[in-house]
């Protein structure tokens, strides 16, 4: 039996990280859409401008992600996540007390930078640093727990906002980061440091790359391209779900579609956890990439059918849920655990930069070429992601000489 087969996942660390991921995504991401109308009113902005500010912050956060990834490799993911919790609390507080638009935008940028330090990219790296050889399983378990972030925080944010201003809600969230997330991340950081001091064979525990050196650069470019295109499809559809459904004649069905999307994400992670052990991470990436454009094709060809829209929601959610897993596991499987934080930072940067422009791009397409053609173009982006991942399989099968010739 292999070493990875005898090692057990760090259940306590996964459960603790699951809690901080729920708080991180819930407070820094999912709450924004609920609080945005009141933010816009208080700042005397239109809703378009408030979401434009979010897109700008996401873009800057994406550009900063590679630097954050290098810090994770240099200082350790636990330390970075501990600092990130403090920065998240400070940024949320700064947002709450922002005296005007520019101060609000600066604080929003701080929130997006903090997100890079406390959300999936850093959490995946921490699991790799804790037990590299079983990190793929650990990442799957973590995404299963964190998949409930929207389910938990949408109603929590709504309930708080019924009694508190958006500023006070952000202050409550800042306290959560200081009182819950920061101590957990500090505890995990100490645990990793102590484990490394006790272990003299750190290098032997590393996951080795599955690609020959000559294939790594083209494979990395293809992988980043595939993830970026998937992020475009995801971000564009999730932001415009309601107007797209309405324009297709589905009206109130949009609410039901949104209700099915979250559970479908969690379902895909559960199915993968139970039955996906025999599949390679590259195959999982291909499956997740296929599901997104397939869901769009079903929506386009069946609208305004309600059953068709529901099937779309389930398949799109399954693809999105799997994508969250392979974003963490595929870089590890292809390129190994050395420098994993840097790799995650580069992947995250491409994803965030592309996803920050996706809502605007789809809105522009819909206003110029209509809903059906816009969704068709989006499906083509999804199909291009499939092609990118399939090209990696050819690199893995090709002899080293062929890869070198392709690079030349």
Expressed as residue numbers, the domain containing 24 is: 11-199
**376 with 274, same domain?**
yes
User: How many CB atoms are located within 10 Å of the residue 90 CB?
Assistant: 17
**Assigned domain for 350 exists:** yes
Highest mean pLDDT among 88-102, 201-215, 232-246: 88-102
CA–CA separation, 4 and 181 (whole Å): 29
Final residue before a domain boundary, out of 177, 199, 221 = 199
The per-residue pLDDT for 42 is: 92
Burial 304-323 (b: 16+ CB within 10 A, else e): ebeebbbbbbbbbbbbbbbb
**Assigned domain for 377 exists:** yes
Which residues lie below 8 Å from residue 278, measured CB to CB, with a gap of 6+? none
Final residue before a domain boundary, out of 199, 223, 242 = 199
The per-residue pLDDT for 87 is: 97
The pTM of the whole model exceeds 0.75: yes
The per-residue pLDDT for 155 is: 87
**Assigned domain for 5 exists:** no
pLDDT higher than 60, residue 400: no
Q: CATH number of the domain that 177 lies in?
A: 1.20.1250.20
The per-residue pLDDT for 407 is: 43
Burial 256-290 (b: 16+ CB within 10 A, else e): ebbebbbbbbbbbbeebeeebeeebbbebbbbbbb
The DSSP secondary-structure symbol of 205 reads G
Q: Mean pLDDT score of the chain, rounded to an integer? A: 86
Final residue before a domain boundary, out of 159, 175, 199 = 199
Peptide bond into 304 cis (omega under 30): yes
**177 with 301, same domain?**
no
**148 with 55, same domain?**
yes
**194 with 259, same domain?**
no
**145 with 219, same domain?**
no
**174 with 317, same domain?**
no
Overall number of domains in the chain: 2
Region 353-370 average pLDDT: 83
**56 with 191, same domain?**
yes
Region 93-118 average pLDDT: 94
**Assigned domain for 404 exists:** no
């Amino acid at each position: 039996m292999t070493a990875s087969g005898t090692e057990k996942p760090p259940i306590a660390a996964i459960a603790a990280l699951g809690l901080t991921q729920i708080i991180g995504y819930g407070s820094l991401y999912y709450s924004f859409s609920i609080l945005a109308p009141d933010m816009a009113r208080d700042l005397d902005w239109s809703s378009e401008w408030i979401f434009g500010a979010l897109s700008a912050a996401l873009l800057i956060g994406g550009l900063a992600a590679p630097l954050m990834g290098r810090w994770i490799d240099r200082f350790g993911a636990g330390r970075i996540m501990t600092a990130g919790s403090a920065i998240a609390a400070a940024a949320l507080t700064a947002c709450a007390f922002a005296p005007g638009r520019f101060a609000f935008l600066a604080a929003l940028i701080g929130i997006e930078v903090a997100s890079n330090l406390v959300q999936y990219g850093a959490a995946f790296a921490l699991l790799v640093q804790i037990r590299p050889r079983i990190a793929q399983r650990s990442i799957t378990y973590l995404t299963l727990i964190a998949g409930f972030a929207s389910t938990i925080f949408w109603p929590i944010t709504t309930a708080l906002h019924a009694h508190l201003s958006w500023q006070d809600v952000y202050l409550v969230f800042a306290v959560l980061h200081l009182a819950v997330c920061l101590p957990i991340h500090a505890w995990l950081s100490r645990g990793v440091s102590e484990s490394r001091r006790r272990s003299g064979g750190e290098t032997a525990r590393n996951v080795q790359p599955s690609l020959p050196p000559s294939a790594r650069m083209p494979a990395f470019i293809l992988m980043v391209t595939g993830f970026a295109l998937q992020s475009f499809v995801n971000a564009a559809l999730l932001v415009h779900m309601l107007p797209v459904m309405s324009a297709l004649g589905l009206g109130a069905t949009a609410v039901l579609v949104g209700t099915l999307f979250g559970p479908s994400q969690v379902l895909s992670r559960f199915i993968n956890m139970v039955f996906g052990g025999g599949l390679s991470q590259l195959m999982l990436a291909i499956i997740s990439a296929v599901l997104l454009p397939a869901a769009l094709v079903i929506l386009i060809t069946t609208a305004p059918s309600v059953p068709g829209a529901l099937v779309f929601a389930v398949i799109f959610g399954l693809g999105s849920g799997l994508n969250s897993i392979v974003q963490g596991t595929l870089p590890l499987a292809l390129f190994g655990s050395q420098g994993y934080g840097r790799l995650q930072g580069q992947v995250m940067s491409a994803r965030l930069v592309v996803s920050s422009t996706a809502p605007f791009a789809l809105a522009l397409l819909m206003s110029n070429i209509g809903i059906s053609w816009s969704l068709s173009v989006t499906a083509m982006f999804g199909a291009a992601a499939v092609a990118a991942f399939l090209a990696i399989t050819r690199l893995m099968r090709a002899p080293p000489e062929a890869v070198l010739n392709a690079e030349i």
